[in-house]
Amino acid sequence: MVTGASRGIGRSIATRLAADGHRVVLVARTADPLEALKGEIEAAGGSAVVSTCDLADGSAVNELIESVVSDEGRLDILVNNAGITRDGLMLRMSDEDFDVVLNVNLRSIFIACRAAARPMMRGRFGRMINISSVTGLIGNPGQANYAAAKAGIIGMTKTIAKEFASKGVTANVVAPGFIRTEMTEALGAGVLEEAAKRIPLKRLGEGDDIAHAVSFLASEGAGYVTGQVLTVDGGMVC
Ligand code: NAI
């Protein structure tokens, strides 16, 4: 299951996991872009189902996981990718903008991982992969809410890793740097060009760069890797 699969990084992750041979549950708020992606995955010989959910609604997140497990019989890989920004300098950031970002970017992941843990333990196999950000490691002016959520993901995932390791369930974080998606395109071409110059690998990342990291962490071969933060940022933070 991949949240935020309708576009950007989530779309790339879902496409990659489908190419790896997984049946993928595509999650976002609206069905149309997910149906289009399902069509693309099937045309390439893969398998996908669509499930709409507003992750800001905790009970809907619980229901989502329950319905996936009851419809599919199992849930092996949970990729919590969906995320939002409500940027603003600390002194001007409203309580609402703090709360909504924490709710969608952190609380929904807590609820999804908690709900997925039982079925994964029953199957003695699970891969929880949570998408954080380099902002969660080093902070970023204008993103106190986002940085708090993304750093929270890291502490929470390390805890999940310790709690479920003996049950065959791993939990890891991927921390992307500057990735070319609609989220970053909103910053404007000038900002992106300047950002690319400061990245040691001299380019912005692509969704596929993140998808390959997720593909590894989701694989059978990554079974001895848990509680880790895999930074995929072209060398920005090293
Ligand atoms: P995006 O804005 O292009 O896509 C976000 C996805 O999340 C969309 O599919 C959207 O429908 C979904 N989503 C948002 N709120 C939702 C909600 N309440 N319920 C259900 N779905 C919801 O973002 P992008 O760039 O693809 O980012 C994906 C993840 O990677 C996010 O968690 C983001 O914070 C993280 N990230 C992105 C970076 C970048 O440079 N683009 C850098 C570091 C982290």
Name the average pLDDT for the chain.
Answer: 97
Q: How far is CA 230 from the centre of its chain?
A: 13
Question: Quick check: CB of 158 below 6 Å from ligand 1?
Answer: no
| Tens-place pLDDT, residues 93-118 | 999 999 999 999 999 999 999 999 99
Full-model pTM: 0.98
| Tens-place pLDDT, residues 125-177 | 999 999 999 999 999 999 999 999 999 999 999 999 999 999 999 999 999 99
Query: How far is ligand 1, taken at its centre, from the CA of residue 160, in Å?
Result: 22
Question: Quick check: CB of 104 below 6 Å from ligand 1?
Answer: yes
First to last CA, the chain: 30
Verify whether residue 224 is a known catalytic residue: no
Query: Is residue 238 very low, low, confident or very high in pLDDT (cuts 50, 70, 90)?
Result: confident
Query: How far is ligand 1, taken at its centre, from the CA of residue 166, in Å?
Result: 31
Stated as kind and residue range, the H or E segment containing 129 is strand 126-131
Residues 6 or more apart whose Cβ sits within 8 Å of residue 231: 134, 137, 175, 177, 237, 238
Q: Which fold has domain 2-232?
A: Rossmann fold (3.40.50)
Taking the C-alpha atoms of 111, 207, 234 and 162 in order, what is their torsion angle to the nearest 10 degrees? 20
- Measuring from atom 44 of ligand 1, which residue has the nearest CA? 133
DSSP state of 204: -
| Tens-place pLDDT, residues 173-198 | 999 999 999 989 988 999 999 999 99
Mean pLDDT of 52-69: 98
- Measuring from atom 32 of ligand 1, which residue has the nearest CA? 83
